């Protein structure tokens, strides 16, 4: 297979973890006989500094004309601490999602047995938790009409029937591939937009008779994820709720540095770790590259290259089992490994398998 990637390292630790993710992609393509080509592009704070735009037109065109986008992170404290900044790195991420029509964000929440002790939840609650959060990504308050003044501001949580139907379809289809359980998360007791979500979900549910469909208010869902994370199989929700719940889900696994994500829709899919740019760690060789590497696994699996994705996951699991880990998840007294060393170990595992 010929595979053309747009590579967007972005800000902070992005370039460091991207180097490892790309090295794994190269090793897999070499092992399985795929032809890989790729081109770098700028985004986020890096792009603002260079051209004044967090998602330049050249970057967009490269993404549009590639088979997939491998993305790392955006964000910089100089923008976070300036409420008057008119252009922000995160606007580039929103622009990428909107321009590429990436309406579905797929975030697996998977626990690793050897890291359960790192979770803030008790072992008996979190061990075996394995579910997917599907977040609508291009509608709702993040993209609705806005107004901001010194004494008044508002954001509009706007959704249309086609937007809701297409993301619910993704949710039902993922449930069919897994354990046939879909939880629709909303706030239908308060919000009109949520009532439309629930109405459409109830209309669509009979089309998937094998799927057990339940409905849960977002506040209850947030509590249930902590009290009983193993209850969930596939969860689908709107943009703002999804943003919050997916971050909550990532924490229960013990480290945000372990979880990948995919954003899919009308055009080129994007694969990225769910953590941020962690600018404080930039250049220190301590950032965990596993989420970036597992994003590469999701990328191959998206193109139905299951053996390739499986080998990456096997290599990641082996690295964890053998305590080849960056500092935040290393066992007490374990050997010291940095970003580069973990990535190199996984590449060697793949080459020698």
How far is residue 40's CA from residue 52's CA, in Å, rounded to a whole number? 18
Alpha-carbon distance values, 262 to 24, 48, 108, 237 (Å): 17, 25, 9, 16
Active site residue 67: no
| Distance from chain centroid for Cα 107 | 5
Q: Which of 49, 67, 155, 247 is catalytic?
A: 247
- How many separate helices (H) and strands (E) can be counted in the chain? 13, 12
DSSP states of 77-143: HHHHT-TT-SS-HHHHHHHHHHHTT--EEEEEEE--GGGGGGSSS-HHHHTT-EEEEEEE-SSGGGT
How far is residue 304's CA from residue 269's CA, in Å, rounded to a whole number? 14
Q: Which of 159, 174, 187, 349 is catalytic?
A: 187
Q: Which of 219, 321, 336, 348 is catalytic?
A: 219
265-293 as b/e: b if 16+ CB within 10 A:
beebbbbbbbbbbbbebbeeebbbbbbbb
Find the helix or strand (DSSP H, E) in which 311 lies.
helix 306-321
- Residue 153: exposed, middle, or buried by beta-carbon count in 10 A (0-12, 13-18, 19+)? exposed
Q: Which of 142, 159, 174, 337 is catalytic?
A: 142
Active site residue 187: yes
Active site residue 233: no
Active site residue 113: no
Helix axes 57-64, 89-99, angle to 10 degrees: 40
Place of tokens 């999602």: 97
Enter the tokens of residue 242: 């999804």
Active site residue 349: no
Q: Which of 243, 282, 302, 340 is catalytic?
A: 243
| Distance from chain centroid for Cα 86 | 26
133, 70, 76, 120 alpha-carbon torsion, rounded to 10°: 40
Say how many C-beta atoms besides its own lie within 10 A of residue 29's C-beta: 19
Place of tokens 């590259």: 289
DSSP state letter for 229 = G
Q: Are 63 and 268 in contact, with CB atoms under 8 Å apart?
A: yes
Residues labelled catalytic: 142, 187, 219, 243, 247
């Amino acid at each position: 297979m010929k595979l053309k990637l747009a590579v967007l390292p972005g800000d902070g630790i992005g370039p460091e973890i991207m180097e490892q993710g790309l090295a794994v992609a190269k090793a897999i393509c070499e092992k399985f006989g795929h032809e890989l080509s790729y081109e770098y592009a700028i985004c986020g704070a890096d792009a603002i500094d260079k051209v004044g735009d967090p998602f330049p037109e050249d970057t967009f065109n490269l993404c549009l004309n590639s088979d997939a986008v491998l993305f790392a992170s955006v964000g910089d404290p100089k923008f976070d601490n300036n409420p008057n900044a008119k252009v922000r790195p995160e606007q580039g991420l929103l622009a990428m999602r909107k321009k590429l029509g990436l309406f579905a964000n797929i975030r697996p929440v998977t626990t690793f047995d050897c890291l359960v002790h790192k979770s803030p939840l008790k072992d008996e609650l979190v061990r075996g938790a394995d579910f997917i959060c599907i977040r609508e990504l291009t509608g709702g308050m993040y993209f609705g009409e806005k107004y901001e003044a010194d004494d008044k501001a508002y954001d509009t949580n706007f959704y249309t029937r086609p937007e809701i139907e297409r993301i619910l379809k993704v949710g039902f289809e993922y449930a069919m591939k897994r354990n046939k359980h879909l939880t629709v998360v909303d706030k239908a007791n308060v919000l009109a937009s949520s009532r439309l979500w629930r109405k459409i979900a109830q209309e669509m549910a009979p089309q998937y008779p094998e799927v057990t469909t339940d409905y849960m208010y977002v506040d209850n869902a947030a509590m249930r994820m902590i009290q009983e994370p193993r209850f969930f199989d596939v969860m689908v929700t709107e943009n703002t709720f999804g943003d919050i719940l997916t971050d909550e889900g990532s924490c229960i696994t013990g480290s945000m540095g372990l979880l990948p994500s995919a954003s899919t829709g009308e055009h080129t899919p994007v694969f990225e770790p769910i953590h941020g740019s962690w600018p404080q760690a930039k250049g220190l060789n301590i950032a965990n590259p596993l989420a970036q590497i597992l994003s590469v696994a999701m990328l191959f699996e998206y193109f139905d290259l299951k053996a390739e994705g499986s080998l990456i996951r096997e290599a990641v699991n082996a690295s964890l089992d053998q305590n080849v880990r960056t500092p935040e998840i290393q066992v007490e007294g374990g050997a010291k490994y940095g970003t580069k060393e973990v990535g190199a170990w996984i590449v060697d595992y793949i080459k020698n398998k």
